[in-house]
Amino acid sequence: MTQTQQDLVFAPLGGVGEIGMNLSIYGLGNAQKRSWLAVDLGVSFASEDHTPGIDLILPDIRYLMSERKNLAGLILTHAHEDHYGAVLDLWPKLKVPVYDTPFTAALLAAKCANEPGAPDIPVTIVQLGSRFNIGPFDIELVSMAHSIPESNALIIRTPCGTVLHTGDWKIDLTPVLGDVTDDKKLRALGDEGCLALVGDSTNAVREGRSPSEADVGKTISTLIKSAKGRVAVTTFASNVARLRTVAEAAFGAGREVVVVGRAMERIVQIARETGYLEGVPPFRPADAYGYLPPNKVVALCTGSQGEPRAALARIAEDQHPEVTLARGDTVIFSARTIPGNEKAVGRIINGLIDQGIEVITDRTHLVHVSGHPRRAELEELIGWVKPKILIPVHGESLHLSEHAKLGRSLGIEEVVQCRNGDLVRIAVGHAGVIDQIPSGKLFKDGQILVEADSRSVIERRRLSLAGSVSVALAVTDKGVIAADPDIDLIGIPERDRGGLVIEDAVYDAIEQTMESLPRKKGGDAVAVAEAVRRAVRAAIVQRWGKKPMCHVHVLTV
Ligand SMILES: [Zn+2]
Ligand SMILES: [Zn+2]
């Protein structure tokens, strides 16, 4: 392959080697100049342990910013946070045309409306199953069943061949709502010729097929029918099929549905507007809950991930203004617990059980199904599409490698295992990683985006582990302490094991240091500060066994 020949490349800038933060780019051209298409722009959720005070992680888009003039567009496959959650924060850095389908567009618009100072993002709404061009890329949408309405795979046709980017999908012949996976179009693609499959690996370790949403409906119906008291169901608000499933189960049992939680109210409204709750009787607002007899109500709540401010956590703590539960009531967790949230969810479950409330989870009942394909579904897709090259994405290392093995076992000759930042050439006989491009993570810290290795984040991690000590010291130009030092210990125990006050030890360390300082250093504020800092830290390490952050301010008087 010569340098100037046109080629097709792919690079994940997020979502490969991890679950979350999806951002993929496709490039058409040559090493000197390429046109780019970006697919999805998502977030990951941070776990408190490693990054205190950070909730959201976003992909580092430095590379796309440097290639902005060659970026033809951004297309969003669906409205899950791991695919579109970073748009509000990162779009202003790219100002690129955005393409999405009506439901995704409605959720994005609602998100903008709810965030003060959100950018005004021009969106081109494309219809399900439609075909259109973004720059040199000829794109056709393929409807896929998933756990949110309007999940789309993309057929990306280029002069160098055709790629199927699956997005998130599963096969569900009875999805309760929305289109089934469009196997006709996928088989046709197989006949036409598919160069590469870039596909969802989330459930590549799971044998068989994922159960259908309709099966979940049967279980939830049975549970609600047999419940004596009140029933609360918590799920992801965006899983509109599940909202419908719960609603139908509730109405089937002669109960009304009360919507609890802002995110839930918002999605219910959008789902009504976009037609996804057609035929479902109106829901009642949370303030109706108190007037309904216990056996006539189902509360549909936010908070399935144990979020402390969401409806379910507040109900469990009896802090919710309108909704209460008592002994004999039932709570159904109709959602998977995202790794990292187990403790928060466990706390709520245990709290509810301690109050005599029955808790049902997907560990014992089929009250939730995944929106991702298991192995038999992955096999079926590969059989339909017959790709020459397989590139597993959307998964952690284990998921990716299982997907890769499965592909090889089905006879796909070229399987490319790549990671975030790898530039992959998509060409028969030459598929593989050819270069690296800048990639990484950004943290959303309050309203500010910071780099993952920024000082503020590293310092906060240290602060959270070992606290800080600060000393203010007034010293004469002869190196004599002019007043009692001001000492502030934050996050440090008051006394050591022997009962000695640690602050006193700090005080002694300062005094001894000042006495032992050579004369000529005594008036040098920088030298004094450094000597005192070392001594104070050593004194605390000796008594506590941990190294706090330590700041000394010396004022010469
Ligand atoms: Zn998804
Ligand atoms: Zn996803």
Quote the ligand 2 centre to 521 CA distance (angstroms).
61
When pLDDT is cut at 50, 70 and 90, the band that residue 5 belongs to is confident
Quote the ligand 1 centre to 541 CA distance (angstroms).
48
Residues ≥6 apart with Cβ < 8 Å to 426 = 7, 8, 9, 10, 160, 161, 163, 195, 196, 389, 391
Nearest bound ligand to the CA of residue 146: 1
Phi-psi region at 473: left, alpha or beta (left = phi > 0; alpha = psi -120 to 50): beta
**pLDDT at 295 (0 to 100):** 96
Q: Which residues surround ligand 2, an ion (CB under 5 A)?
A: 82, 168
Residue 46: name the closest of 555, 461, 501 by CA.
461
**pLDDT at 48 (0 to 100):** 63
**pLDDT at 306 (0 to 100):** 94
pLDDT at 2 over 90: no
Instruction: Tell me what the mean pLDDT of segment 351-363 comes to.
Output: 96
Q: What is the pTM of this model?
A: 0.91
Quote the ligand 1 centre to 473 CA distance (angstroms).
56
**pLDDT at 476 (0 to 100):** 87
**pLDDT at 453 (0 to 100):** 86
Instruction: Provide the pairing of β-strand 151-158 with 137-144.
Output: antiparallel
Taking every pair of Cα atoms in the chain, the longest distance, rounded to a whole number of angstroms, is 89
Apex 49 CA angle, 46 and 54, nearest 5? 40
Instruction: Provide the pairing of β-strand 468-475 with 486-490.
Output: antiparallel
pLDDT at 396 over 70: yes
Give the C-alpha separation, 363 to 344, whole Å: 17
Instruction: Tell me what the mean pLDDT of segment 222-243 comes to.
Output: 96
Quote the ligand 2 centre to 83 CA distance (angstroms).
6
Which one of 165-179, 396-410, 438-452, 505-519 scores highest in mean pLDDT? 396-410
pLDDT digits (tens, 9 = 90+) for 441-487: 999 999 999 998 889 988 988 898 999 999 999 988 888 888 899 99
Quote the ligand 1 centre to 142 CA distance (angstroms).
15
Quote the ligand 2 centre to 445 CA distance (angstroms).
23
Percentage of the chain modeled with pLDDT above 70: 98
Give the C-alpha separation, 280 to 431, whole Å: 49
Nearest bound ligand to the CA of residue 202: 2
Helices (H) and strands (E) in the chain, counts: 16, 28
Percentage of the chain modeled with pLDDT above 90: 88
Instruction: Tell me what the mean pLDDT of segment 218-242 comes to.
Output: 96
Quote the ligand 2 centre to 422 CA distance (angstroms).
20
**C-beta of residue 42 within 8 angstroms of C-beta of residue 444:** no
**pLDDT at 479 (0 to 100):** 80
Quote the ligand 2 centre to 199 CA distance (angstroms).
11
The H-or-E segment that residue 448 falls in is strand 448-451
DSSP letter at 181 equals P
**pLDDT at 12 (0 to 100):** 98
pLDDT digits (tens, 9 = 90+) for 294-339: 999 999 999 999 999 999 999 999 999 999 999 999 999 999 998 8
Give the C-alpha separation, 95 to 74, whole Å: 10
pLDDT digits (tens, 9 = 90+) for 102-132: 999 999 999 999 999 999 999 999 999 999 9
Q: Which residues pair with 379 in a beta bridge?
A: none
Strands across the sheet containing 98-100: 123-125, 98-100, 71-75, 34-39, 23-29, 7-14, 422-425, 432-436
**pLDDT at 522 (0 to 100):** 67
Q: Which residues surround ligand 1, an ion (CB under 5 A)?
A: 80, 168
Quote the ligand 2 centre to 191 CA distance (angstroms).
28
**pLDDT at 452 (0 to 100):** 86
Residue 491: name the closest of 510, 469, 471, 461 by CA.
469
pLDDT at 3 over 90: no
pLDDT digits (tens, 9 = 90+) for 92-103: 999 999 999 999
Residue ranges of the alpha helices (H) in 32-151?
A: 62-66, 81-84, 87-94, 102-114
Quote the ligand 1 centre to 390 CA distance (angstroms).
20
Give the C-alpha separation, 83 to 522, whole Å: 59
